[in-house]
Amino acid sequence: MDIVSRFLKERTLSEEEFVLLLQQSGDAAVRETLRREALALCRNYYGNQVYIRGLIEFTNYCKNNCYYCGIRRDNPHVRRYRLSTEEILSCCREGYGLGYRTFVLQGGEDPYFTDERMTELIRQIREEYPDCAITLSIGEREKDSYRKFREAGADRYLLRHETADAAHYRSLHPEGMNFSHRIQCLYDLKELGYQVGAGFMVGSPGQKLEHMAKDLLFLQKLQPEMVGIGPFIPHHDTRYAKEQAGSVEMTLFLLSVIRILLPKVLLPATTALGTMDPVGREKGLLAGANVIMPNLSPEKNRKDYSLYDNKICTGEEAAQSIASLRKRVESVGCQVVTDRGDAVR
Ligand code: SF4
């Protein structure tokens, strides 16, 4: 049996076999076979529904210095901002009115947002919006902090593992950031009952097919409820400014592979995919994705949350442009729904 048929039958492969499968990402017939299977699985568990998440980028301060990131600590050209509690609540209010039932609080690892401040913020959102899911994406913390946030009302946590290979991780992050701590955080979050999101950049500097094969096996082991992947896009103020961006084609291929590997997973068609290709997210939905995360942050701050160059964040990207988002989603036979959009158990 060839490797594609084996993957479709068994829904998993060994590391070496995943490499062989990934080597076939350039083969249009293989891509189409996996895409069709991924789409069928997605329809089976989620119908044609697409869940929307209102993304609130509430601080671009970060104590870390990830080599690829535009808002890393040592980039002096970033105009830093923090949203006040009132500004964050006002984003939620606007989002709720537009039909969003998940708020994603995303930020750098900003020491200003102590456990106490975060807990108070989560409590206020939980009190005002009992029918909404609260997702956090604020990086690595200790288990005790995650526990406090969970008790205050947070439901989900996004923490991309970035790479499942320790040496590759070291090449993307400076000393002081620790691969095993990051992985431990993901297991802690699982244990605390969060719906957990892992993920990685496709085509990050130094990434090989072997690394992606490890990523797939790691995802299979972790069994996250969500997986965020998007093409690597260089930022001009980083050491990787001149690196090539990751490919849309490989990202779409991996979306299909991940849907087949974890059929019930929540899989965003990411902003990075939409940045690389004007219809990248539509293609993502046809490759097995079922989530879109438009930006609910205040217009004045959006450009300052620049993780990579040319990130789309205004105009049609704004969460407020819900009508055009609906049309885009409908153009590929799907439907935006007003729903918390929890993972199918
Ligand atoms: S990737 Fe995240 S943790 Fe790393 S520097 Fe950027 S915002 Fe900070």
Q: Is 235 near ligand 1, meaning CB less than 6 Å away?
A: no
Q: Is 108 near ligand 1, meaning CB less than 6 Å away?
A: yes
- In DSSP notation, 98-139 reads HT--EEEEEE---TTS-HHHHHHHHHHHHHH-TTSEEEEE--
Confidence category of residue 316, pLDDT binned at 50, 70, 90: low
The stretch 94-116 carries a mean pLDDT of 97
What is the structure's pLDDT at 194? 98
Q: With CA atoms as reference, report the closest residue to 122 among 158, 139, 146, 140.
A: 146
Domains detected in the chain: 3-337 (3.20.20.70)
Residue 193, Ramachandran bin (φ over 0: left; ψ between -120 and 50: alpha; else beta): left
Q: Which two tokens stand for residue 13?
A: 């492969």
The stretch 189-215 carries a mean pLDDT of 98
The answer, yes or no, to whether residue 317 has pLDDT greater than 80, is: no
What is the structure's pLDDT at 311? 81
Q: How far is the CA of 328 from the centre of ligand 1 (A)?
A: 30
The answer, yes or no, to whether residue 314 has pLDDT greater than 70, is: no
Q: Which two tokens stand for residue 12?
A: 């998993």
Closest residue to atom 5 of ligand 1, CA basis: 72
Q: Is 160 near ligand 1, meaning CB less than 6 Å away?
A: no
The answer, yes or no, to whether residue 306 has pLDDT greater than 90, is: no
Q: Is 62 near ligand 1, meaning CB less than 6 Å away?
A: yes
Q: With CA atoms as reference, report the closest residue to 34 among 68, 8, 59.
A: 8
Q: Which two tokens stand for residue 90?
A: 């006002």
Model confidence pLDDT, tens digit, residues 172-191:
999 999 999 999 999 999 99
Element (H, E) at 26: none
Q: Is 64 near ligand 1, meaning CB less than 6 Å away?
A: yes
User: Rounded CA gap, 294 and 296, in Å?
Assistant: 7
Q: Is 48 near ligand 1, meaning CB less than 6 Å away?
A: no
**Amino acid (one-letter) located at 56:** I
What is the structure's pLDDT at 345? 79
Q: Is 71 near ligand 1, meaning CB less than 6 Å away?
A: yes
User: Rounded CA gap, 180 and 165, in Å?
Assistant: 10
Q: How far is the CA of 187 from the centre of ligand 1 (A)?
A: 20
Which of 64, 78, 105, 179 has most ligand 1 atoms within 8 Å of its beta carbon, as the pocket-test mutant? Answer: 64
Angle at 333 between CA 289 and CA 245, to 5 degrees: 40
Which of 71, 73, 185, 305 has most ligand 1 atoms within 8 Å of its beta carbon, as the pocket-test mutant? Answer: 71
The answer, yes or no, to whether residue 304 has pLDDT greater than 90, is: no
- In DSSP notation, 245-261 reads PPPHHHHHHHHHHHHHH
List Cα–Cα distances, 172 to 139, 148, 167, 204, 217, in angstroms. Answer: 16, 30, 9, 8, 20
What is the structure's pLDDT at 71? 96
Q: How far is the CA of 33 from the centre of ligand 1 (A)?
A: 36
User: Rounded CA gap, 155 and 225, in Å?
Assistant: 12
What is the structure's pLDDT at 262? 98
3 three-class SS: helix
Give the nearest ligand 1 atom to 173 CA: 4
The answer, yes or no, to whether residue 1 has pLDDT greater than 80, is: no
291 three-class SS: strand
Q: How far is the CA of 24 from the centre of ligand 1 (A)?
A: 32
Q: Check if the beta carbon of residue 11 is closer than 8 Å to that of residue 210.
A: no
Give the nearest ligand 1 atom to 70 CA: 6
